Amino acid sequence: MRLTMVGTGYVGLVTGTCFANTGNDVTCLDVDPAKIKTLEDGGCPIYEPGLTDLIEKNVKAERLTFTLDKEKAYRDAEMIFICVGTPTGKMEGDADLSYVMGAADDIGKVLKELGPNQEPKVIVVKSTVPVGTSHAVRDRIREIAGPSIPFSIADNPEFLKEGAAIQDFNYPDRVVCGVEDERAAELMKEIYAPYVRSGNPIFIMDVRSAEMVKYASNNFLATKISFINEMAALCEAYGADVGKVREGMCADSRIGSQFLYPGLGYGGSCFPKDTLACMAMGRNSDTDTQLSTAVHDVNQRQRTRFFQKIHDQFDGDLAGKKLAFWGMAFKPNTDDIREAPALTIMQLCKDAGATCVGYDPVAAENVAKDHPGLCEVCEDVYDTLEGADALVISTDWDDFKHPDFGRMKTLMNVPAIFDGRNLYALALMEREGFVYHSVGRRAVTPGAVTA
Ligand SMILES: NC(=O)c1ccc[n+]([C@@H]2O[C@H](COP(=O)([O-])OP(=O)(O)OC[C@H]3O[C@@H](n4cnc5c(N)ncnc54)[C@H](O)[C@@H]3O)[C@@H](O)[C@H]2O)c1
């Protein structure tokens, strides 16, 4: 099938490449000339494991092309997937739909030029959008193209995770398609057939429900994270160990163990904005969304609580202190730094007078580019520790799981670790002689008598 992806970000580029890999003829369109140039030169504008090789393979097979030319991208496509960003807008958490509606405008113009005798295209909204948006896209295209132009609208939320995006796309737990006509349903089933061969379901439903599935899923996962972080705070207050509490709790098959790791709270380009968008949908419809509001508040507080631990360690005086940060991406295996907790905590430390030095295996370049002056970026993980008054572990990259503690102590001014990801056993930290603060567990202070 001839497909066009609108937007070559994490979703559009992965989706387009994976669809090309099953034999479709895919055009990836973007408005960012730098991204298209990188792709045309054989590079990849984002870090996603396995993606560069898969792009190369499909470009060679002449099934995958990149363009800035909207007219060309839209004209020949049988299905158009809108995969542009829907960040938080300026209005109290409402999703900014300007990119989605911008794409609708472009598509409407091309459809108008093609006239009433064209084969009807299916326009698929893949971006995460508030309920009703796909219908607004349909109405905008209709308004621009005119009433005699045939096309149909669909909503197909994406559930891939950055860092495991190709695996998630190729082996989805489920595929959700919101459609308004039988033909769109059949085309969606056809295009996804290679990905649901092992019996994983493809759900065909109405457009509004499909849009809501995505928010309900992300909001639920965000709720689990805020829940365990709230329990972690209680563990700290009452001397329990959240690691043990987790084990005891997660053995219950009704509860399960995923997304129940205490830490610095969720970040990234989805959970924060999608929780806010749910709250905005509630506000806009006079529907109470107390739970979403609490989930968001707990998440924001998690960052300031952790900063407070650092602040308290230095008796409230961070002026002139040097803090090393390991990990700046919002989670491991991605270079995405949107809403990354590390950056919020760095900013709080910097505002309190500290200087920050950061290392990340793949996200450092983005930090230097998008947040100049926030921290000094190091290329080697141990270089961050020279003369450091404390280490903050902010992303649980594998690289940080078994460091050379002896070397760390010789480099650091003070052997203190603030571990936002609970990477190390308390007994190990005691043996190594570190001051050690983590999440939901007692603090380790060398010399102090512990129970
Ligand atoms: N990132 C994820 O892990 C993830 C997972 C599931 C769903 N989503 C959702 O998918 C959507 C896209 O997310 P993303 O992370 O891929 O975004 P992104 O910001 O990485 O990429 C969006 C791309 O769209 C391009 N663009 C904007 N307007 C355009 C236009 N008119 N024509 C062509 N290109 C245009 C931008 O230049 C950019 O390259 C969002 O709604 C997001 O919530 C993201």
Task: Kindly state whether residues 12 and 95 are assigned to the same domain.
Answer: yes
- List pLDDT tens digits, range 213-231: 999 999 999 999 999 999 9
| 141 neighbors 108 (Cβ within 8 angstroms) | yes
- Could you say which of 261, 278, 296 is where a domain stops? 296
Q: Which of 37, 83, 140 to mutate to test the pocket of ligand 1 (most atoms within 8 A of CB)?
A: 83
Query: What pLDDT shows up at residue 329?
Result: 97
Task: Kindly state whether residues 316 and 416 are assigned to the same domain.
Answer: yes
Task: Kindly state whether residues 45 and 174 are assigned to the same domain.
Answer: yes
pLDDT at 449 over 60: no
254 CA distance to ligand 1 middle (Å): 34
* Domain with 103 in it: 2-205
Query: What pLDDT shows up at residue 448?
Result: 56
Distance CA 11, CA 14 (A): 5
The pLDDT > 90 percentage for the chain reads: 98
Let me know if residue 146 belongs to a domain: yes
Atom of ligand 1 nearest to the CA of 103: 31
Let me know if residue 242 belongs to a domain: yes
Atom of ligand 1 nearest to the CA of 99: 28
- CATH number, domain at 292? 1.10.1040.10
104 CA distance to ligand 1 middle (Å): 14
Sign of the CA dihedral 173, 208, 297, 353? positive
Pocket of ligand 1 contains residue 269 by CB under 6 Å: yes
State CA 214 to chain mean position distance: 14
Q: Which of 11, 48, 110, 140 to mutate to test the pocket of ligand 1 (most atoms within 8 A of CB)?
A: 11
Long-range contacts of 290-294 (CB under 8 A, 24+ apart): 291/223, 292/219, 294/226
Pocket of ligand 1 contains residue 31 by CB under 6 Å: yes
Pocket of ligand 1 contains residue 85 by CB under 6 Å: yes
Task: Kindly state whether residues 348 and 250 are assigned to the same domain.
Answer: no
Contacts of 107 (CB under 8 A, 6+ apart): 74, 80, 123, 141
Query: What pLDDT shows up at residue 450?
Result: 46
Task: Kindly state whether residues 156 and 7 are assigned to the same domain.
Answer: yes
pLDDT tier, 90 (very low <50, low <70, confident <90, very high otherwise): confident
Task: Kindly state whether residues 161 and 30 are assigned to the same domain.
Answer: yes
Atom of ligand 1 nearest to the CA of 10: 16
Q: Quick one: average pLDDT of 9-15? A: 97
E strand map for 30-174: 64-67, 79-82, 121-125, 151-155
Q: What values do phi and psi take at 67, rounded to 5?
A: -155, 155
Distance CA 161, CA 376 (A): 29
371 CA distance to ligand 1 middle (Å): 20
Tally the domains of the chain.
Answer: 3
Task: Kindly state whether residues 325 and 193 are assigned to the same domain.
Answer: no
Pocket of ligand 1 contains residue 231 by CB under 6 Å: no
Task: Kindly state whether residues 86 and 192 are assigned to the same domain.
Answer: yes
Let me know if residue 383 belongs to a domain: yes
Task: Kindly state whether residues 181 and 292 are assigned to the same domain.
Answer: no
Pocket of ligand 1 contains residue 127 by CB under 6 Å: yes
Task: Kindly state whether residues 241 and 309 are assigned to the same domain.
Answer: no
- List pLDDT tens digits, range 238-253: 999 999 999 999 999 9
- Could you say which of 296, 319, 335 is where a domain stops? 296
The pLDDT > 70 percentage for the chain reads: 99
| Angle separating helix axes 271-284 and 290-313, nearest 10 degrees | 140
Query: What pLDDT shows up at residue 451?
Result: 42
State CA 246 to chain mean position distance: 24
Let me know if residue 442 belongs to a domain: no
Pocket of ligand 1 contains residue 32 by CB under 6 Å: yes
For ligand 1, atom 7, the nearest C-alpha belongs to 158
- Could you say which of 186, 205, 224 is where a domain stops? 205
146 CA distance to ligand 1 middle (Å): 28
CA proximity to 302, closest of 331, 342, 252, 270 = 342
310 CA distance to ligand 1 middle (Å): 35
Pocket of ligand 1 contains residue 7 by CB under 6 Å: yes
Query: What pLDDT shows up at residue 43?
Result: 96
pLDDT at 201 over 70: yes
Q: Quick one: average pLDDT of 17-35? A: 98
- List pLDDT tens digits, range 100-110: 999 999 999 99
What is the radius of gyration, based on Cα positions, of the chain? 24
234 token code pair? 């209680």
Pocket of ligand 1 contains residue 12 by CB under 6 Å: yes
Distance CA 375, CA 392 (A): 13
For ligand 1, atom 1, the nearest C-alpha belongs to 10
97 CA distance to ligand 1 middle (Å): 11
CA proximity to 307, closest of 356, 346, 278 = 346
pLDDT at 91 over 80: no
Let me know if residue 65 belongs to a domain: yes
Contacts of 124 (CB under 8 A, 6+ apart): 79, 80, 81, 82, 153, 154, 155, 156, 188
| 142 neighbors 110 (Cβ within 8 angstroms) | no
Q: Quick one: average pLDDT of 401-428? A: 97
Let me know if residue 84 belongs to a domain: yes
For ligand 1, atom 21, the nearest C-alpha belongs to 9
51 token code pair? 């993606």
Let me know if residue 445 belongs to a domain: no
Q: Catalytic residues, which ones?
A: 270
Q: Quick one: average pLDDT of 305-324? A: 97
Pocket of ligand 1 contains residue 6 by CB under 6 Å: yes
Query: What pLDDT shows up at residue 446?
Result: 83
Task: Kindly state whether residues 310 and 291 are assigned to the same domain.
Answer: no
pLDDT tier, 45 (very low <50, low <70, confident <90, very high otherwise): very high
Q: Quick one: average pLDDT of 290-298? A: 97
Question: What is the average pLDDT score of the chain?
Answer: 97
Pocket of ligand 1 contains residue 160 by CB under 6 Å: yes
227 CA distance to ligand 1 middle (Å): 29
First-last CA distance in the chain = 66
Distance CA 304, CA 308 (A): 6
Let me know if residue 187 belongs to a domain: yes
Contacts of 167 (CB under 8 A, 6+ apart): none
| 14 neighbors 167 (Cβ within 8 angstroms) | no
Task: Kindly state whether residues 309 and 374 are assigned to the same domain.
Answer: yes
Query: What pLDDT shows up at residue 2?
Result: 98
| 144 neighbors 105 (Cβ within 8 angstroms) | yes
* Helix/strand/coil for 391: strand
- CATH number, domain at 121? 3.40.50.720
Q: Quick one: average pLDDT of 285-311? A: 97
pLDDT tier, 157 (very low <50, low <70, confident <90, very high otherwise): very high
C-alpha separations of 130 from 8, 81, 91, 93 in Å: 21, 17, 14, 11
Pocket of ligand 1 contains residue 366 by CB under 6 Å: no
Distance CA 156, CA 381 (A): 40
pLDDT at 259 over 90: yes
Atom of ligand 1 nearest to the CA of 127: 41
C-alpha separations of 25 from 145, 227, 253 in Å: 25, 44, 43
Question: Cβ atoms within 10 A of the Cβ of 427, count?
Answer: 9
11 CA distance to ligand 1 middle (Å): 6
451 token code pair? 């129970």
| 73 neighbors 67 (Cβ within 8 angstroms) | yes
Pocket of ligand 1 contains residue 8 by CB under 6 Å: yes
